[in-house]
Structure 1
Amino acid sequence: MPVSGSEPYDLAVIGAGPAGLAGAVAAADMGLKVALLDASAHTGGQFYRTPHPALGAVRPEALHHDWSGYADLRGRLAQSRIRHLPGHHVWSVTNESADVGATWAVHAVTGADGGDGRPVRLRARAVLLATGAYERHLPIPGWTLPGVVAAGGAQAMLKSGLVLPGRRIVVAGSGPLLLAVASALAAAGARVPAVVEASGYLRYARHPRALVTNPHKSAEALVHGTALLRHRVRVRMRSAVTEVHGTDRVEAVTVTRLDKNWRPAQGAGRRIQCDALAVGHGLMPQIELATTLGCASRSLPDGTRALAVDRLQETSVRGLWAAGETGGVGGAALARTEGELAGIAAAARLLGRLAPSGRVRALQRRRDRMRAFVDVMAAAHAPGPGWSRWLTDETEVCRCEEVTAGRIREAVEDLGARDARTVKLLTRAGMGWCQGRMCGAAVACLAACGRADGLPVERRPLAVPVPLAVLAGLDDPDGKPAGAPSYRPST
């Protein structure tokens, strides 16, 4: 392919999950030259994972709901002229011009986990951020034992590798993902002695309009609930796993009743035998690329932060659109809707013509309806301030740097830390390999004395680990790292 650093794509889409796929094909259908970048080797994002062909899965779609929506997008991608760039880990997006016709530079490294370090720079007139979300982790005494996995991680193991984290698996935390994970594990042959939900589902009943206007959500819950009944899985509400037991791996967990603020009741613990724990407390929008560029964010009812977008999914920075979980975690159907809306809006802007008003209004109505349900869901499963009561001083919070809850409490109570950044400077919590993605939410809540609204706005100049050689080459006279290819549209 000819090297040309001056000829940009019309639109660069970062993330090939439901939102990114929908945005890319919608923009391409309107005539834009589109590049679709994703860290994975396959499309589908975290939601639509498929086993490697060598595993011989006969019906991988059986592990997903709403597979037809993904299959349609995947087929349209294959028939389009979109340039799909798998294995591209985007570490930065920069604005190369302050003019109205600004050109964005998307910087990435390639290979598995960016391992080969081959630098890539791609130019585009506009960018759609569809970077998804990652799991929120609240530490538990004993959670570093082998056999403790993230709830979404257990689901990914099953969808991608057709493997289970254990044979007898307790599923715990908070949020509707737990029901999906538990039903999938049980259907795959695991014994699930309990689903342990720290919140409850009664709050949903306070918002009948959101329930009535989103019947597909009730249908999903019914499907998972029926599966759990069939496999005789007990759901324990207003409870949490407050301790994990074992020597070389998980052997049992203690489940404790919680009050409305998530404070564990004294003497109410019950031990459940298991060999694995799948635990998760919801998802957090992955917005670091956008906030580093100055995009405005907003606080969600569950204490996480999402990007603030307008009616057409454009962020506060002109030329940057966002869709899907970046605006608040809401599932694949909402992500596809927002992605399509963003793709149409970006294409209309770049082509200098009006967007199809009927289609835009229909997408906006669908988006607004589903977003209303998302807000109800986030509020229903927001962590209560009392969750930190189940932490002992010896509990590791930051696993990378081995920072315990006791050290964080000392930083807050004795040294006067009042925010996550100060705790980080005093204890190194969040300075390890994951850069706070595992411990960031917990550290922020502990620094804010348990309040879930203590999550900071992340501004990271590097969104993923980058070899120093790549950074050293940024001053190349060509304006790109040494040896970096620049991609131009196929003709």
Structure 2
Amino acid sequence: MSGTTRHVVVVGAGPAGLAAARAAASASARVTLLDAADGLGGQYWRHLPAERPAGREGLLHHRWATFGELDAALRADPDVTVLPSAQVWSLERLDAGIRLNVLIGEPDGVGREALVLEPDALVLATGAHDRTLPFPGWQLPGVYSAGAAQALAKGERVAVGRRVVVAGAGPFLLPVASSLLQTGADVVGVHEASRLGSLARGWLNRPWELAGAAGKAGELAGYVRDLARHRVPWRPGEAVVAAHGDGRVEAVTVARLDERWAPVAGTERLVEADAVCVSHGFTPRLELAIAAGCDLTPGRFVVVDDTQATSVPGVWAAGEVTGIGGADAALAEGTVAGTAAAGGDTGTGAARAAGRARTRARGFAARIEAAHGIRGGWTGWLRDDTVVCRCEETTYGRVREVVELTGSHEPRSVKLTSRAGLGPCQARMCGRTLQELLAGPEATGAAAPTVDRRPFVVPVRLGDLAGLPSTSRPTASPTASASQPGGDRT
């Protein structure tokens, strides 16, 4: 291998990360692909482990053949090192670049292997996680984020309940309902918060631009068929505004919403259910991007140029961390980012074609926001005793009391006083909600105080920290036992 070969590290092995890794390798770079999960595919291609595969896995995933091609290409390339169960716990800015501190092994295990990487180029494909708006009773066992429910359905073939309500906003509700049906759950309803008028304005504006999205239309048709075959009603302009039960969910209250998502008085009805899956869109995982110093958009996504380069030299970003555009956008962005990070020409070959596909796919991100974006009236279903932070059991009333007593609307100040956002998840579930409750939707602007600035990206055992070298650490390379692409670590 030439001494001038660029070393590209890709963080995240979903569609964007896999595409970036393959593109970088195709451009003659040495590639290290890191993912915290124990397998490749991310949330989109979450599947059973190799030791107990599904008989017909392709029936459970869209574009499964694409995953197979990416997976096979990376495993076959000797210049690609795949490290599963690898958590980047911190990122340091150096005078000459970036340093990644990584722990490899089970997240809750002891004695994890420490790895330090100082790559020539870094591609962030860290994705996003569900955003769930709080409502009375959402802390009860049986309330799941839609992403968690889908992960259990696709990755373990486990149904979260027998009678399940799916609610929130966005097209993601449909594949979640479909996954639940495939596990044998009875989905009693899918409740979309946006009304038909908002959906029409978002999706039908400039309809000719949808001509290049035949694949998305096919996916939608499949989900509609699943719901129709199982007689699952889809109800726009409705939301779960409360969950009820003694020790776990036994029923939910569903209400009609106005255009601003405020509950319409007198429309409430009780629906029996033993589980409810909720998603109100996604929040990008920004910890590493913020640690690197990347600029953010007003909507709090990473700013990138036409080559997916961020504002930080040597750092590229792709996938949901740059905007919620789905798997097609992620694959295209990953291909462009990987090519550019490796020093390749993004104006030719696969990268050029990916650039055109990216332009088409990005239109979907704008449509999703226009049709399903959160409206401010949702706070109308909160009560003073509604838990806002589930980790610390901090209520909406407590947050309001702290603001009144201190006169501060600054998220960090309110967190330290009320303890909202100080629990194990470190505000990943409640942080964006807390910002909006304190200062309205404008609090999510790029210049606003952020809850995503975490020196420790993930929880780390004190023993792991104590075991790190105390002197200056050189750039580390994966050990021989870890260098087999896709190989298990023992």
TM-score by length of 2: 0.91
CA distance in 1, matches of 2:177, 2:91: 38
**Offset from partner CA, 1:380-435 (integer Å, 9 cap, x none):** 11111111111111111111111101011222344323232232122111111100
Give yes or no for contact 2:123–2:337 (8 Å, CA) kept in 1. Answer: yes
Which one-letter code corresponds to 2:461 in the other structure? P
- Structure 2: runs of 5+ lacking an equivalent: 485-490
Say if 2:335 and 2:351, in contact at 8 Å, map to a contact too: no
In 2, are the aligned partners of 1:88 and 1:114 still within 8 Å (CA)?
A: no
Amino acid corresponding to residue 150 of structure 2 in structure 1: Q
> What amino acid does structure 1 have at the position aligned with 2:49?
H
SS at match of 1:211: helix
- Aligned partners of 1:95, 1:225: CA distance in 2, in Å? 47
Q: Is this contact kept in 1: 2:154–2:179, CA < 8 A?
A: no
Deviations 1:71-97 (A, max 9, x none): 110111111120111111001222333
Query: Would you say 1:108 and 2:94 are equivalent positions?
Result: no
Question: 1:126 maps to what in 2?
Answer: 121
Q: Quick one: structure 1 residues 486 and 471, their matched pair in 2 at CA, closer, same or farther if it must change by over 3 Å?
A: farther
Query: Residue type matched to 1:192 in 2?
Result: V
Do the aligned partners of residues 22 and 450 (structure 1) sit closer, same or farther apart at CA in structure 2, a change above 3 Å counting?
closer
Q: Work out whether residues 253 and 273 of structure 1, in 8 Å CA contact, stay in contact via their aligned partners in 2.
A: yes
Q: Which moved more, 1:419-428 or 1:356-365?
A: 356-365
Q: Report if the CA contact (8 A) 2:249-2:274 is conserved.
A: yes
Provide the rounded CA distance (Å) in 1 between the counterparts of 2:338 and 2:232.
42
Q: Partner of 1:297: helix, strand, or coil?
A: coil
Please name the residue that 1:95 is paired with. 93
1:310-329 matched pairs, under 5 angstroms: 310-329=305-324
Bigger mean CA offset, 162-171 vs 402-411: 402-411
Contact 1:137–1:441 (Cα < 8 Å) also in 2: no
**Residue 5 of structure 2 contacts residue 29 of structure 2 at CA under 8 Å; is this kept in 1?**
no
1:11 deviation in Å?
0.6
Q: Matches of residues 263-342 of structure 1 in structure 2 within 5 Å?
A: 263-300=262-299, 305-342=300-337
Alignment of 1:156-171 (within 5 A): 156-171=151-166
Structure 1-normalised TM-score? Answer: 0.90
Q: 1:358 offset after TM fit, Å? A: 4.6
Q: Secondary structure at the match of 1:46?
A: coil
How far does residue 206 in structure 1 lie from its aligned partner after superposition?
Answer: 2.1
Deviations 1:200-229 (A, max 9, x none): 421211231432332322222222112111
State how many pairs are aligned.
471
User: Counterpart in 1 of 2:488?
Assistant: none
Aligned partners of 1:143, 1:49: CA distance in 2, in Å? 26
Q: For 1:463, which of 457, 466, 476 is the aligned residue? A: 457
Structure 1 residue runs of 5 or longer lacking an equivalent are: 1-5
Deviations along 1:362-393, one digit per CA (max 9) or x if unpaired, are 22121111111211112211111111111111
Shift of 1:8: 9.5
> How far has the Cα of 1:357 moved from its partner?
2.4
| Counterpart residue type for residue 315 of structure 2 | L
Relative to structure 1, is the Cα distance of residues 409 and 401 closer, same or farther in structure 2, using a 3 angstrom cutoff?
A: same
Q: Match for 2:31 among 17, 34, 49?
A: 34
Query: 5 Å matches for 1:49-88?
Result: 49-53=46-50, 55=52, 57-81=54-78, 82-88=80-86
Amino acid at match of 2:140: L
Q: CA deviation at 1:133?
A: 0.7
Q: Go from structure 1 to structure 2 and tell me whether the alpha carbon gap of 1:485 and 1:343 turns closer, same or farther (over 3 Å shift).
A: closer
Deviation (angstroms), 1:311: 0.4
CA contact (8 A) 2:188 2:233 kept: yes
Matched residue, 2:354: 363
After alignment, is 211-220 or 393-402 more displaced? 211-220
Q: Per-residue displacement from partner, 1:13-53 (whole Å, max 9, x unpaired)?
A: 11111111111111112211111111111000111111135
**Farther off after superposition, 162-171 or 407-416:** 407-416
1:425 alignment partner, SS class: helix
What does residue 487 of structure 2 align with? Answer: none
Greater alpha carbon shift after TM alignment, 278-287 vs 220-229: 220-229
Residue 439, structure 1, aligned to residue 437, structure 2: no
Deviation of 1:233 (Å): 0.6
Residue 346 (structure 1) aligned with residue 337 (structure 2)? no
Per the alignment, residue 214 of structure 1 pairs with 213
2:165 match: secondary structure: strand
Partners of 1:334 and 1:285 in 2: CA distance: 15
Q: Which amino acid aligns with 2:127?
A: G
Q: Within 5 Å, which residues of 2 pair with 1:3-42?
A: 10-42=7-39
Q: Aligned AA for 1:43?
A: L
Is 1:297–1:306's contact at 8 Å kept on the other side of the alignment? Answer: yes
Q: Distance in 2 between matches of 1:254 and 1:421?
A: 33
The amino acid across from 1:106 in the alignment is L
